[in-house]
């Protein structure tokens, strides 16, 4: 198989870590920073939106978003993301990674700004325009998933590829944390400048008119990092693997990578044509050959990402209610609108700082040592254990004196999500599929994940409600309660562990070795045996 390997691809596989690696991490990572900020910042302001637009005079409790509106505001960006992952993933394999990469970023910049400028004469009008722009924001974010992962995997050496892709994804942690920090700064500035009494003392005066600027500023801030990154994205050369193996232009691939690696690389047009014209390198996504070679792999990457995101996104979206239940955030009536935003952001930022961010960087440090498979298995197992540890003695955790223990356990589930399947489900689909289908298959896997996020974000708004109808949030039917919801999430994590058995280990191998793109029939048969053994 060695003689079939193109010099330009081999040069990338064995290259020492250089400046261009870190440049690629920053450029791709800033996109992911923006993705995470934009997706998660909405959870900081949903309570404020309810107070501003849905307060009913004479009510004994602050205004809150009706269930259908809350579901739409929280979930519409995920619907857009799912669509974008499928569309831009496919387009990245047709037009090239670089050409599509700029489109997604521009869409994110425009729609971040437009989300903050949402307009309307009524509450429903404002929410409708907000949802419209959040959908298209999500559409742009969706494209960033397959393209960032694919670009980084195709630039990196086989020795450090896992760490570099994980470092791109780790920027999600800083994006989540930055969302909390920006919310803290903006809400604190407005809270200190525009004094307001608690809701219990003055229901109307507790929400100052200027609070309407707070959520808009928070949402619009996401355009800044995306806008800064655009110029550098446009300067990146197309990946050599797309140029050579998909566009079939060996000369351009060699020329681009000679500039990047700072030494001359021979173009091997004849070898490229020999490789791409092989029957084994011409099958499509819906072919029997793909099903035999990669069918179980795709089932593994889609199901594990789907199950992981049910747990991951439902936690993020109902954690504000958990913080209230365990006493970290006071009752809404004891605070004014901006004070509630501040305390909610403070609690979520602490969880991000202690549990979310460290997990990502543990993955970066260890993934090329331990391997993707072991980290994913361990992560799903530990998440199952900690979910059960929260659910079984749930009453104990919510009694006075045990709140901190609950938060520590809760943070550990986030730690092992990120030092586990939340990182590996992003990495593996960018490694195990052929170059001509890599972005598409990553997009399909990521879209399955966002389907899980939709289930988690929509479903658990209802599921986590109290079983006693009298104790549910206004407008919601009785649910199964937080305790039972945690049991459901534990089951999802355990199923994720089982489906991980379908995913092969890719540590230390070249992308062509994993996908069999430059092998002969004997190599293909060997690959099939390996896949069966893994299963």
Six-digit token string for 370: 């331990």
**Could you give the CA distance from residue 319 to residue 291 in angstroms, rounded to a whole number?**
40
pLDDT > 50? residue 114: yes
Mean pLDDT confidence for 276-298: 86
pLDDT of res. 313: 79
Digit-coded pLDDT (tens) for 209-254: 999 999 999 999 999 988 888 888 888 888 989 998 888 888 898 8
> What DSSP line would sit under 326-394, residue for residue?
HTSS--GGGS-HHHHHHHHHHHHHHHIIIIIHHHHHHHHHHHHHH-HHHHHHHHHHHHHHHHHHHHTTH
Q: What is the pLDDT of residues 292-330, one digit of tens each?
A: 999 999 999 999 999 999 988 776 545 655 666 666 788
Band (pLDDT 50/70/90 cuts) for residue 529 is very low
Q: What is the pLDDT of residue 473?
A: 66
- Rounded (10°) CA dihedral 92, 93, 95, 96: 70
| pLDDT for the residue 353 | 82
Q: Can you give the length of the chain in residues?
A: 535
Query: Residue 442: which of 275, 312, 285 has the closest Cα?
Result: 285
Q: Which tens digits make up the pLDDT trace of 33-79? A: 999 999 889 988 999 999 999 998 888 889 988 888 888 888 899 99
* Three-class DSSP category at 54: coil
pLDDT exceeds 90 at position 464: no
Alpha-carbon torsion (151, 163, 443, 534), positive or negative: positive
Asked whether the beta carbons of 375 and 367 are under 8 A apart, the reply is: yes
Tokens of 21: 């690696």
Q: Is 197 helix (H, G, I), strand (E, B) or coil?
A: coil
* pLDDT for the residue 532: 35
Q: What is the pLDDT of residues 121-157, one digit of tens each?
A: 789 899 999 999 999 999 999 999 999 999 999 999 9
- Interval 192-202 mean pLDDT: 92
Is pLDDT at 534 greater than 60 in this prediction?
no
pLDDT at 426: 96
Letter string b/e over residues 389-405, b meaning 16 or more CB atoms within 10 A of that residue's CB: bbbebbeebbeeeebee
Q: What is the distance between the alpha carbons of residues 179 and 138, in angstroms, rounded to a whole number? A: 16
pTM of the complete model: 0.89
CA atoms within 13 A on the CB side of 413: 27
Query: Which residues, in sequence order, are CB contacts of 299 under 8 Å at separation 6+?
Result: 499, 502
Give 335's contacts (C-beta < 8 A, 6+ positions apart): 198, 199, 206, 343
Of the candidates 531, 79, 497, the one whose C-alpha atom is nearest the C-alpha of residue 303 is 497
User: Residue 4 and residue 198: Cα distance in Å, rounded?
Assistant: 72
Higher per-residue confidence, 434 vs 474:
434
Residue 218, token pair as written in the block:
């928070």
Pair of tokens at residue 477: 């039917």
2 has pLDDT over 50? no
What's the confidence (pLDDT) of residue 431?
A: 94
246-268 confidence digits (pLDDT tens) = 888 888 988 888 888 888 888 88
What percentage of the chain exceeds 90 in pLDDT?
47
- Contact call for residues 268 and 467 (beta carbons, < 8 A): no
Is residue 535 predicted with pLDDT exceeding 50? no
**Domains of the chain (ranges plus CATH)?**
9-268+286-518 (1.20.1250.20)
3-state SS, one letter per residue, for 239-294: CHHHHHHHCCCHHHHHHHHHHHHCCCCCCCHHHHHHHHCCHHHCCCCCCHHHHHHH
- pLDDT at position 324, please? 62
Residue 526's CB is within 10 A of a number of other CB atoms, namely 14
Q: What is the mean pLDDT of the chain?
A: 86
Q: Give the separation between CA 196 and CA 189, rounded to whole angstroms.
A: 13
What number of H helices and E strands is found in the chain?
A: 23, 0
Q: Supply the DSSP symbol for 237.
A: P
491 class by beta-carbon count within 10 Å (0-12 exposed, 13-18 middle, 19+ buried): middle
Most confident range (mean pLDDT) of 39-48, 352-361, 362-371 is 362-371
């Amino acid at each position: 198989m060695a003689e079939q390997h193109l010099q330009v691809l081999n040069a990338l596989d064995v290259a020492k870590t250089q400046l261009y690696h870190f440049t690629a991490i920053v450029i791709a990572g800033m996109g992911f920073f923006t993705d995470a900020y934009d997706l998660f910042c909405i959870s900081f302001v949903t309570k404020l939106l309810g107070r501003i637009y849905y307060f009913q005079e004479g009510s004994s409790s602050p205004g809150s978003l009706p269930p259908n509106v809350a579901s739409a505001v929280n979930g519409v960006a995920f619907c857009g993301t799912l669509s974008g992952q499928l569309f831009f993933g496919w387009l990245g394999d047709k037009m090239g990674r670089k050409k599509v990469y700029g489109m997604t970023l521009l869409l994110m910049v425009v729609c971040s700004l437009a989300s903050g400028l949402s307009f309307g004469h009524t509450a429903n009008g404002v929410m409708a325009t907000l949802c419209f722009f959040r959908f298209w924001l999500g559409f742009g974010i969706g494209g960033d998933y397959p393209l960032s992962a694919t670009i980084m995997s195709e630039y990196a050496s086989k020795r450090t590829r896992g760490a570099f892709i994980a470092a791109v994804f780790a920027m999600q942690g800083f994006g989540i944390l930055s969302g909390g920090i920006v919310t803290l700064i903006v809400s604190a500035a407005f809270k200190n400048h525009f004094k307001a009494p608690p809701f219990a003392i003055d229901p109307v005066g507790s929400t100052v008119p200027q609070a309407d600027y707070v959520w808009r500023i928070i949402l619009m801030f996401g355009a800044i990092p995306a806008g800064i990154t655009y110029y550098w994205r446009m300067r990146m050369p197309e990946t050599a693997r797309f140029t050579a193996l998909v566009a079939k232009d060996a000369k351009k691939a060699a020329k681009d990578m000679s500039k990047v690696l700072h030494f001359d690389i021979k173009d091997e047009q004849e070898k490229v044509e020999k490789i791409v014209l092989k029957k084994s390198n011409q099958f499509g996504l819906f072919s029997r050959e793909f099903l035999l070679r990669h069918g179980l792999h795709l089932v593994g990457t889609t199901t594990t990402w789907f199950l992981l995101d049910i747990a991951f996104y439902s936690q993020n979206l109902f954690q504000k209610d958990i913080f209230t239940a365990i006493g970290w955030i006071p009752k809404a009536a004891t605070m004014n609108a901006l004070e509630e935003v501040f305390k909610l952001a403070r609690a979520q930022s602490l969880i991000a700082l202690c549990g979310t961010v460290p997990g990502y960087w543990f993955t970066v440090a260890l993934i090329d040592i331990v391997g993707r498979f072991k980290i994913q298995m361990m992560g799903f197992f530990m998440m199952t254990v900690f979910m059960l540890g929260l659910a079984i003695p749930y009453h104990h955790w919510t009694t006075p004196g045990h709140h901190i223990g609950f938060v520590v356990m809760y943070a550990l589930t986030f730690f092992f999500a990120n030092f586990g399947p939340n990182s590996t489900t992003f990495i593996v689909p960018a490694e195990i599929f052929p170059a001509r289908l890599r972005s598409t298959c990553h997009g399909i896997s990521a879209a399955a994940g966002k389907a899980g996020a939709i289930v988690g974000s929509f479903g658990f708004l209802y599921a986590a409600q109290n079983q006693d109808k009298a104790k549910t949030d206004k407008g919601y039917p009785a649910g199964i309660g937080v305790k039972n919801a945690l049991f459901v999430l534990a089951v999802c994590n355990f199923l994720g562990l089982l489906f991980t058995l379908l995913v092969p280990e890719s540590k230390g191998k070249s992308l062509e070795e994993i996908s069999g793109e430059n092998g002969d029939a004997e190599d293909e048969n060997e690959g099939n045996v390996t896949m069966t053994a893994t299963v």
